[in-house]
Chain A
Amino acid sequence: MLRFILNNQTVETDLPSGMTVLDFVRYHKNLKGTKIGCREGDCGACTVLVGELTDGEVGYRSMTSCLMPLANAAGKHIVTIEGINPADGGLTPAQTALVDESGTQCGFCTVGFVMSLTGYSLSGGERSGETALSAIDGNICRCTGYKSIERAAKRICDLQFAICNSTISAAEVAGSQIDQAISTGTVPNYFESIGERLRMLFTEDSNRKLKIENRKWMAGGTDLYVQKHEEMVHAGAVSLFDDPSLRFINETADSVEIGPSVVVTDLLESEVFNRLFPDLYRHLKLVSSTPIRNMATLAGNFVNASPIGDMTAWFIALGARIELRDQFSGDERTIALADLYLGYKTLDRRDSEIISKITFGKDFTHFNFEKVSKRTYLDIASVNTAISLKVSDGMIERALVSMGGVAPTPLLLRKTSEFMTGRPFGHETFAAAELLIQDEIVPISDVRGSAEYKRLLARQLFRAHGLAVSSEQ
């Protein structure tokens, strides 16, 4: 049995843990405000907020309920539009902003925008036009052309900004985003009790062990539910998503160790990553959307084995190593991430093994990530590529170049990388290296572009690397 708080109610269910939260709220709880647009996390009409206890505080993130199994809702606070609508029939600030700016036409996507903007108000972090837009980057609207929604988002941002900059208010004394959100009418009063209720839920549930026969391991589910929806919804899914022992970012003297269930947003919010990757936000903005980044785990991206996984390309270029742990024997072994891929969707991994740790060295001096897709954001790449260099005294001591979308597996461009290693850091090395790439890649023509285009793009993005790292000091 799974237990979680749905809006203001604790729910228990024996339904398959693989069932999506979307189907559960709409068809089992009759909460019809959450809409179905695509069932693959690409439209945001089904966006809900997910509240989770971390360090004693409830933090909320937006997620697409179509890709979220009930297993990943367990022990959390799931918020649908019905859970934030003011009881008196009035409107929250996000709702008011959308109405006032005419940010709703047919209305079908609207609830998703309301939830995303509400999530923005509940989150901490910097307040700017950019972060406000980023909050709705996973929401697709076909009617408005977004300008009215942008204006609404800006209003919310201004409101938040005003709150952040106001002289000390009662809410600020309390110091919690949630108290602040309650005071502005962003969320109803019952949100103040959620922390305590989640703690109780956690204590009660921690003694129970889920049966692990007939299990299907899953993490964030963001690709699994796109590829294998029918299979998963009936499955007794066992989640690796919430295991705290799998979710960490630790810095050591010369490396960084990351838990496999760390999601992309965790990287964005990590001090270590922001320090090591000055362009982190600009680069990760190219990777899916806010709700998906809130759900998608690194290990999930790796084992999914898509030839075009963005984070896979990223970490291959860092020379990352992964620790594989056998869930039955407890045996552990460590391999290079690049060596995980044996062929199309074929991995050097036994069914009983999970990735238990990701490690990469910090001694690179330059890093760049490039991705081009039909639509710049929230799209799957035609070609993606990353490069890391260790440069010392004008010489490249080590080069690692990865590339996706150009072969049946994500590639480490070994020859290109080897060629660059030991040569001077400069245009001539790049110019010579770019010729080698064409021999290492074997792109095919598909809906993401012709083989000819991908070859050209590979060259161009490598040139972009050259420009990026040479301007980086």
Chain B
Amino acid sequence: MKNLDSKSHVRGESVYLDDIPVVEGTLYACVFDSPVAHGKLRSVNTDEAASAPGVVRVITANDLIGENQIGGILPDEPLLANGEVHFCGMPIAVVLAESDEQARAAASLVKAEIEPLEAIVDAREAFAKGSLIAAPKRFKLGDTEKAFESCAHVFEGKTRSGGQEHLYIETQGAYTLPSETGGLRVFSSTQGPTAVQKAVASVTGIPMNLIEVDVTRLGGGFGGKEDQANAWAAICAVSTQLTKRPVKYSLHRMEDMRMTGKRHPYSSDYRIGLDADLRIVAYDVVFYQNAGASCDLSLPVLERTLFHCTNSYFIPNVSAVAYSCKTNLPPNTAFRGFGGPQGMFVIESAIAHAADALGVDRDEIQRRNLLSSGDELPYGQIVESEAREAWSQADSVYDFATLKKEADEFNKTGGHLKKGVAMMPICFGISFTKTPMNQARSLVHVYTDGSVAVSTGAVEMGQGVNTKIAQVAASVFGISIEKVKVHTTNTLRIANTSPTAASAAADLNGKATQIACEKILERLNEVAAELELESWPPVGTGSGGDRQIGPPEGETPNWVELVNEAHLRRVNLSEHAHYATPGVGFDWSVAKGHPFAYHVFGTAIVGATVDCLRGTYEFDYVKCCHDFGQSMNSAVDRGQIEGGIVQGIGWMTIEEVVYDSEGRLRSNALSTYKIPDVYSVPDEIAIEALETTRPNLAVFNSKAVGEPPLMYGIGAYFAIREAVKAFDKENLPAFDAPFTAEKVLMNLHRS
């Protein structure tokens, strides 16, 4: 089953925010943002901008009717700077003009008098100065202090991992229209329609029931539009409220890169203790997260770093502390993996450190410490593990020993090319770690012509969630998928949504859709029984799997007839269903609980070739064995894995977010911030399914697949590192990601 949007995508007929036909009278917004990372905002002079051609109005913080606040978790994020500026790119004023060009030209005429204050750009510096977003978070299992005393080997060190620009190809944007009741219709490129609705309500003072947020699809999100779409929608909303005119703002790339947050950079300290058998007995880790200037989603990101700080390994004694450090960078935010990758990079580094020091292979330590079912994770959940199964399947299917041997043989030939091979197991928890967010609703209408309309809280951004939801409806009803349309995500149809995030949208919204369809089906079954229809029902419910969708002929016998008959009998053909993940919960007062519905496991083998003359590298392969549960859409899931791997490799290698010491973004365009192109991807990506039959809480047992594969990309770092070590075995590169060509070359030729 292909992504249902494929055809309109390739014909260029899919509609994104900037493609929505513009209504007469529309104004265009452009933000004037702070050129200074930290300072006192003495005055803002908008006179010249206001009298520029086409300008209708210039808005500053004082003009807001509602609250100047869009912080979703903590109320620490003003929409427009007032009194102080906290990062380069912080919006100060909004220029509204008759054309996009006029708005842009006028925005450059706004003058702000800013008295600079000291800017902090580094997390450890912020920590040293006591600049924290909130109190630290801690996980504790066993007794590390005692455990370290008994360890045969103890190693400690530091790691760093860099930020990552989302680089959704569609930039952020919003378009708001006034409605006759004083409300607003908001089109937004957002993963969180309800978050946008709340932000708009906050800054306008308009109640949520008068704010309709509608999302057709996104040209990519990756977490960057989970919370950070709010500001642009809020800016347009305020502008519409004040001018009574439609207002559109579609950001230019450099504005987007400059004004929005990214993946959180981390700096971390680790201490790892092993016994004589290479079992990890104790692990002590301190994370310093660079949160940027306000909380945004930094705290839940920080929490997930803790949740994944031991990756796929069982460690009986763990002490983990995480500090969210407040700096003068744009507020960093969600990005595929949500803090998990940053946590995993540290434990993988600690293991590599131990392996180097002990003269053993890194994979030897990894393998000996994999999780088994029944093991306790540092946060108290007892894991149902597939870690060992995934590892051994990858090991045997791809013949890891031979891959390593081939690399060793190659490296003996003495040319300037060196190969490195690395294993990378993953374990990723599925569910929002904030338990109340694990709920969703679905609205299903069956029409008298037999067609079906579904609305949920899930946002389609390329991950295929709408396709999976349509599969659920088609499968439950036993009808052809062509009869099902999944409609835009709209806050009037589906209220109080959780953002499309945490890899959980298909599970939550798919399950809600399943419930809604099953309720309608139950009523249809009753009608069928009364009619004594012979061929009804033709297909069992809830069977799942793209192989099982729909009857062979594509039409269910009697479907239309039955639907019509039900309608004549005044049977309800609509359902609004609610799903809440059962059994999940977490108690932060003791930092223990069962936060995840299930975990996703897998193991990848990454092979790299480093050109030791030039410091450049290529990836020969990524071969993974991935835990799909039972995939309901193998085409979509494969795409998620390939895309996730490449994004993860990008984070670990060429993607380098660079701020200068004044907090100005230097990697501020596609010419200076490089994401993988067609030539930087591995020559081969092999995917082997670990088909697990154990029942789980995934929709149709098809496990979430959005985020986990990104973390296979961490293996790329260690594969390069192995190759660098092969060039000079005394050479032990620091754990400092991304491993850019510069770092590779500087490591290779230190003298």
How far, in Å, is A141 (CB) from chain B's closest CB?
7
Residue of A nearest to B642 (CB): A145
**Inter-chain contacts of B19 with A (CB < 8 A):** 32
Q: Which chain B residues (582-638) contact chain A, with CB distance < 8 Å?
A: 613-616, 618, 635-636, 638
Is the beta-carbon distance between A40 and B670 smaller than 8 angstroms?
yes
Is the beta-carbon distance between B170 and A35 smaller than 8 angstroms?
yes
**Inter-chain contacts of B15 with A (CB < 8 A):** 32
Is the beta-carbon distance between A99 and B678 smaller than 8 angstroms?
no
Q: Count chain B CB atoms within 10 A of each CB in A370, A373, A378 and give the residue with the most.
A: A378
- A382 to B116 alpha-carbon distance, docked (Å): 33
- A144 to B463 alpha-carbon distance, docked (Å): 10
Q: A38-B670, A147-B642 are in contact. Are A464 and B678 (CB under 8 A)?
A: no
Instruction: Let me know if B450 is at the binding interface, CB within 8 A.
Output: no
- Chain B residues in the interface with A (C-beta under 8 A): 2-3, 5-16, 18-19, 101, 104-105, 166-171, 217-220, 222, 252-253, 461-464, 613-616, 618, 635-636, 638-639, 642-647, 654, 656, 658, 666-667, 669-672, 674-681, 685, 740-742, 745-746, 749
B interface footprint on A438-473 (CB within 8 Å = 1, 0 otherwise): 000000001111101100110011011001000000
B interface footprint on A99-114 (CB within 8 Å = 1, 0 otherwise): 1101011111111001
- A34 to B19 alpha-carbon distance, docked (Å): 10
**Inter-chain contacts of A148 with B (CB < 8 A):** 638-639, 642
- A51 to B559 alpha-carbon distance, docked (Å): 52
A136-B678, A146-B646, A148-B638 given; 12 more Cβ-contact pairs under 8 Å = A94-B10, A99-B7, A105-B464, A108-B168, A109-B169, A137-B679, A145-B643, A145-B681, A374-B741, A380-B672, A446-B666, A464-B614
Is the beta-carbon distance between B613 and A146 smaller than 8 angstroms?
no
Is the beta-carbon distance between B639 and A456 smaller than 8 angstroms?
no
Instruction: Let me know if A407 is at the binding interface, CB within 8 A.
Output: no
Is the beta-carbon distance between B217 and A40 smaller than 8 angstroms?
no
| Pick from B219, B740, B745: contact of A106, CB under 8 Å | B219
Residue of B nearest to A289 (CB): B677
How far, in Å, is B7 (CB) from chain A's closest CB?
6
- A450 to B647 alpha-carbon distance, docked (Å): 25
Is the beta-carbon distance between B635 and A102 smaller than 8 angstroms?
yes
How far, in Å, is A296 (CB) from chain B's closest CB?
14
Instruction: Let me know if A375 is at the binding interface, CB within 8 A.
Output: yes
Residue of A nearest to B167 (CB): A142
How far, in Å, is A213 (CB) from chain B's closest CB?
23
How far, in Å, is B544 (CB) from chain A's closest CB?
20
| Pick from A99, A146, A447: contact of B6, CB under 8 Å | A99
Residue of B nearest to A102 (CB): B635
Is the beta-carbon distance between A456 and B670 smaller than 8 angstroms?
no
**Inter-chain contacts of B618 with A (CB < 8 A):** 376
**Inter-chain contacts of A377 with B (CB < 8 A):** 677, 679-680
Is the beta-carbon distance between A33 and B635 smaller than 8 angstroms?
no
Is the beta-carbon distance between B11 and A374 smaller than 8 angstroms?
no
**Inter-chain contacts of A80 with B (CB < 8 A):** 12
Residue of B nearest to A449 (CB): B742
Instruction: Let me know if A249 is at the binding interface, CB within 8 A.
Output: no
Is the beta-carbon distance between B615 and A457 smaller than 8 angstroms?
yes
- A461 to B253 alpha-carbon distance, docked (Å): 33
Is the beta-carbon distance between A464 and B616 smaller than 8 angstroms?
no
| Pick from A99, A453, A461, A464: contact of B746, CB under 8 Å | A453
Instruction: Let me know if A395 is at the binding interface, CB within 8 A.
Output: no
Instruction: Let me know if A45 is at the binding interface, CB within 8 A.
Output: yes
Is the beta-carbon distance between B217 and A106 smaller than 8 angstroms?
yes
| Pick from B219, B647, B678: contact of A149, CB under 8 Å | B678
Interface of B is mostly: loop
Is the beta-carbon distance between B666 and A447 smaller than 8 angstroms?
yes
The 4 closest A-B pairs by CB, nearest first: A33-B12, A106-B462, A108-B219, A107-B9
Instruction: Let me know if A65 is at the binding interface, CB within 8 A.
Output: no
- A34 to B746 alpha-carbon distance, docked (Å): 42
22 CB contacts below 8 A, A to B, read A36-B171, A37-B171, A81-B12, A85-B13, A102-B636, A104-B3, A105-B643, A107-B10, A110-B10, A110-B12, A114-B12, A142-B167, A142-B675, A143-B220, A143-B639, A146-B642, A372-B616, A374-B674, A374-B740, A447-B667, A448-B672, A467-B613
Is the beta-carbon distance between A140 and B741 smaller than 8 angstroms?
no
**Inter-chain contacts of B745 with A (CB < 8 A):** 453, 456-457, 460
How far, in Å, is A425 (CB) from chain B's closest CB?
20
**Inter-chain contacts of B638 with A (CB < 8 A):** 102, 148
How far, in Å, is B525 (CB) from chain A's closest CB?
35
Q: Count chain B CB atoms within 10 A of each CB in A141, A143, A233, A370 and give the residue with the most.
A: A143
How far, in Å, is A353 (CB) from chain B's closest CB?
28
- A103 to B675 alpha-carbon distance, docked (Å): 18
Instruction: Let me know if A42 is at the binding interface, CB within 8 A.
Output: yes
Q: Which chain A residues (142-169) contact chain B, with CB distance < 8 Å?
A: 142-150
B interface footprint on A4-33 (CB within 8 Å = 1, 0 otherwise): 000000000000000000000000000011
- A450 to B462 alpha-carbon distance, docked (Å): 38
Q: A38-B669, A105-B639, A111-B12 are in contact. Are A447 and B678 (CB under 8 A)?
A: no
Q: A141-B169, A142-B220 are in contact. Are A460 and B672 (CB under 8 A)?
A: no
**Inter-chain contacts of A448 with B (CB < 8 A):** 672
Is the beta-carbon distance between A42 and B671 smaller than 8 angstroms?
yes
Instruction: Let me know if A77 is at the binding interface, CB within 8 A.
Output: no
| Pick from A37, A374, A452: contact of B656, CB under 8 Å | A374
| Pick from A33, A142, A146: contact of B13, CB under 8 Å | A33
Residue of A nearest to B666 (CB): A447
Is the beta-carbon distance between B18 and A147 smaller than 8 angstroms?
no
B interface footprint on A242-262 (CB within 8 Å = 1, 0 otherwise): 000000000000000000000
**Inter-chain contacts of A370 with B (CB < 8 A):** 614
- A99 to B76 alpha-carbon distance, docked (Å): 45
How far, in Å, is A30 (CB) from chain B's closest CB?
8
| Pick from B636, B647, B674: contact of A142, CB under 8 Å | B647
**Inter-chain contacts of B746 with A (CB < 8 A):** 452-453, 456
Q: A460-B745, A464-B613 are in contact. Are A376 and B679 (CB under 8 A)?
A: yes
Is the beta-carbon distance between A142 and B11 smaller than 8 angstroms?
no
- A374 to B746 alpha-carbon distance, docked (Å): 14
Instruction: Let me know if A98 is at the binding interface, CB within 8 A.
Output: yes
Instruction: Let me know if A201 is at the binding interface, CB within 8 A.
Output: no
- A110 to B3 alpha-carbon distance, docked (Å): 13
Is the beta-carbon distance between A95 and B11 smaller than 8 angstroms?
yes
Residue of B nearest to A467 (CB): B613
**Inter-chain contacts of B675 with A (CB < 8 A):** 140, 142
**Inter-chain contacts of B670 with A (CB < 8 A):** 37-38, 40, 42-43, 140
Is the beta-carbon distance between B169 and A102 smaller than 8 angstroms?
no
How far, in Å, is B155 (CB) from chain A's closest CB?
29
- A433 to B102 alpha-carbon distance, docked (Å): 56
Is the beta-carbon distance between B749 and A460 smaller than 8 angstroms?
yes
Instruction: Let me know if A226 is at the binding interface, CB within 8 A.
Output: yes
Instruction: Let me know if A379 is at the binding interface, CB within 8 A.
Output: yes
**Inter-chain contacts of A111 with B (CB < 8 A):** 9-10, 12
How far, in Å, is B474 (CB) from chain A's closest CB?
19
Residue of B nearest to A135 (CB): B678
| Pick from B8, B104, B167, B678: contact of A107, CB under 8 Å | B8
- A82 to B654 alpha-carbon distance, docked (Å): 35
Q: Which chain A residues (317-337) contact chain B, with CB distance < 8 Å?
A: none
Residue of B nearest to A152 (CB): B10
Instruction: Let me know if A39 is at the binding interface, CB within 8 A.
Output: yes
